[in-house]
């Protein structure tokens, strides 16, 4: 057995010059293996199925101001859910989404012409071979399509443009790729609409539950009875206020009558004693004279002022003099104090007092009793009014305590109306381009990859075959090979030169 140290090298690991000698020595192996490897690589590349890629770009405007749904929601003070990059990419990976896409694919008019073979299969199968056991069962077809269709499409993020993505479909048939691409794009828009709508409906359901709960809490407080009691107290309070006002007026009248009766009794007593009546009579006569003169002056001045345009200068002087006298007489009237008509005629007054002196004290007692009775009624009405006022204050306090609950209920009802408006104006925030990008065809393994792999495989196989052939060859072809194989033997002589 030949030694392996001739194959190895301390510097380059492999002894490449000696390997090149082996390539030239065993030229048949060196020729057959590259040719065979190239043929196999060519056959593998040709045998691959062509994969068709259809793509369509779209933009996520969920966070942008030009989103119609977002604009309306902001106008009404509402918020819709946002989409992150990972959420957009993961939208096509959900089981529910794939199930709905599968149902739409099965319902497509060209379903029987679509190719659902995997990208790596060698032997293509027809739809009858793949789904024939379903026998036109719609649910079975959807389930079977759902098992295979998820591997054909994906979403990629455009790292150069913000919020821009690409929906890509890879299949073994051009028409199938375009058809599935359109179905998935439509379903993505519907899925986004369904998500936003669900988000709004959840908020609406929560608001309705809160409204129902708050109404139950308010019903337990018996709002209707509280309102009725408040209205009744208000009506009673208004009625008692009218009664208090009426009683107050009557009380003032009775008080005036009482004061008058007391003054009359006192005056009667003074008259009966003759205290100062003559002086009062003279003063009263003076009062009547001055008052009469004031009346005459007023009449004269009024008559002159009516014909003021026809008055002469002398008449104007007379008018001024009359006004001056009028002011003087009115000042004199103010100096007369406590002048009563009772002293107009002392004799008649004394005679009348003598006739009514027996009834003056009795009338005073009657008026006092009536005044006390009316005063007691007035006091009772005031107490009732104060009780109603306190009761109304308590009811108002209860209303103030319930006011936040009513305001909260109004806000919730307003929010439900806003949510209904937002729900009716929802549009998708995934905006797809109108046109599908050009459909490109390619192989799973490109020419470059196949060529590189073939070269590496050929080199490896050649190395292994040459090594095996060298190890099984018992001949020695040159001095270098002899010295390397028997370098541990002692030299006893020189051999003749080798001849090829």
Residue 204: which CATH number?
A: 3.30.1890
Is the pTM higher than 0.75? no
Q: What percent of the chain has pLDDT over 70?
A: 73
User: Per mean pLDDT, which range of 27-31, 36-40, 115-119, 184-188 is the poorest?
Assistant: 115-119
pLDDT score of 36: 92
371 shares its domain with 346 = yes
Question: How far apart are alpha carbons 240 and 388 in whole angstroms?
Answer: 9
pLDDT average, residue stretch 24-38: 88
349 domain residue, yes or no = yes
pLDDT score of 68: 45
9 shares its domain with 131 = no
Instruction: Please state the domain count of the chain.
Output: 3
Tokens of 304: 């002159």
pLDDT score of 72: 42
15 domain residue, yes or no = yes
CB atoms within 10 A of CB 482: 14
Question: How far apart are alpha carbons 396 and 230 in whole angstroms?
Answer: 8
323 shares its domain with 351 = yes
More confidently predicted of 483 and 91: 91
235 shares its domain with 275 = yes
pLDDT average, residue stretch 471-494: 69
93 shares its domain with 204 = yes
pLDDT per residue as tens digits for the range 366-404: 778 888 888 888 888 888 888 888 887 877 776 666 666
> Mean pLDDT for the chain?
75
pLDDT score of 65: 44
125 shares its domain with 157 = yes
pLDDT average, residue stretch 102-108: 88
Residue 313: which CATH number?
A: 1.10.287
Top mean pLDDT of 134-148, 284-298, 475-489 is at 134-148
230 shares its domain with 355 = yes
15 shares its domain with 55 = no
494 domain residue, yes or no = no
270 shares its domain with 389 = yes
387 shares its domain with 257 = yes
Count of alpha carbons within 13 angstroms of residue 48, beta-carbon side: 18
pLDDT score of 305: 74
500 domain residue, yes or no = no
316 shares its domain with 344 = yes
114 domain residue, yes or no = yes
493 domain residue, yes or no = no
278 shares its domain with 307 = yes
418 domain residue, yes or no = no
149 domain residue, yes or no = yes
pLDDT average, residue stretch 473-486: 71
Query: Which structural domain range is residue 305 located in?
Result: 225-411
């Amino acid at each position: 057995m030949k030694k392996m140290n001739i194959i190895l090298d301390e510097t380059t690991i492999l002894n490449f010059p000696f390997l090149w000698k082996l390539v030239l020595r065993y030229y048949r192996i060196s020729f057959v293996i590259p040719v065979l490897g190239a043929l196999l690589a060519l056959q593998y590349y040709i045998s691959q199925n062509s994969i068709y890629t259809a793509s369509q770009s779209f933009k996520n405007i969920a966070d942008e101001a030009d989103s119609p749904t977002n604009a309306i929601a902001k106008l009404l003070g509402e918020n819709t859910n946002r989409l992150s990059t990972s959420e957009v990419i993961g939208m096509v990976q959900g089981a529910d989404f794939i199930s709905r896409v599968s149902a739409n694919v099965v319902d497509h008019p060209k379903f029987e012409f679509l190719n659902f073979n995997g990208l790596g299969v060698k032997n293509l199968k027809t739809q009858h071979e793949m789904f024939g056991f379903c026998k036109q069962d719609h649910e079975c077809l959807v389930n079977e399509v759902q098992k295979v269709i998820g591997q054909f499409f994906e979403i990629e993020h455009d790292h150069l443009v913000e919020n821009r993505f690409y929906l890509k479909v890879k299949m073994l048939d051009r028409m199938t790729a375009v058809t599935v691409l359109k179905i998935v794009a439509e379903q993505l828009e519907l899925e986004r609409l369904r998500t936003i709508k669900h988000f709004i409906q959840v908020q609406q359901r929560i608001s309705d539950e809160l409204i129902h709960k708050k109404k139950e809490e308010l019903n337990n407080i018996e709002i209707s009875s509280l309102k009725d009691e408040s209205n009744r107290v208000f009506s009673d309070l208004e009625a008692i206020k009218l009664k208090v006002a009426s009683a107050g007026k009557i009380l003032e009248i009775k008080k005036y009558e009482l004061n008058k009766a007391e003054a009359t009794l006192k005056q009667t007593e003074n008259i009966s004693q003759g205290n100062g009546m003559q002086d009062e009579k003279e003063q009263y006569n003076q009062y009547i004279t001055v008052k009469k003169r004031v009346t005459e002056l007023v009449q004269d001045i009024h008559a002159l002022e009516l014909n003021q345009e026809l008055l002469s200068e002398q008449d104007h002087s007379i008018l001024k003099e009359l006004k001056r006298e009028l002011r003087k007489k009115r000042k004199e009237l103010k100096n007369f104090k406590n002048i009563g008509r009772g002293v107009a005629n002392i004799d008649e007054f004394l005679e009348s007092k003598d006739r009514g002196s027996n009834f003056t004290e009795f009338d005073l007692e009657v008026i006092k009793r009536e005044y006390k009775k009316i005063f007691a009624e007035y006091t009772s009405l005031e107490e009732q009014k104060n009780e109603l006022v306190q009761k109304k204050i308590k009811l108002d306090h209860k209303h103030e305590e319930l006011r936040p609950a009513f305001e909260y209920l109004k806000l919730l009802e307003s929010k439900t109306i806003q949510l209904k408006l937002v729900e009716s104006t929802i549009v998708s925030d995934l905006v797809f381009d109108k046109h599908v990008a050009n459909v490109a065809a390619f192989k799973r393994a490109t020419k470059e990859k196949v060529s590189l792999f073939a070269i590496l495989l050929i080199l490896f196989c050649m190395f292994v075959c040459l090594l095996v052939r060298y190890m099984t060859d018992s001949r020695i072809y040159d001095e270098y090979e002899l010295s390397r194989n028997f370098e541990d033997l002692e030299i006893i002589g020189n051999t003749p030169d080798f001849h090829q």
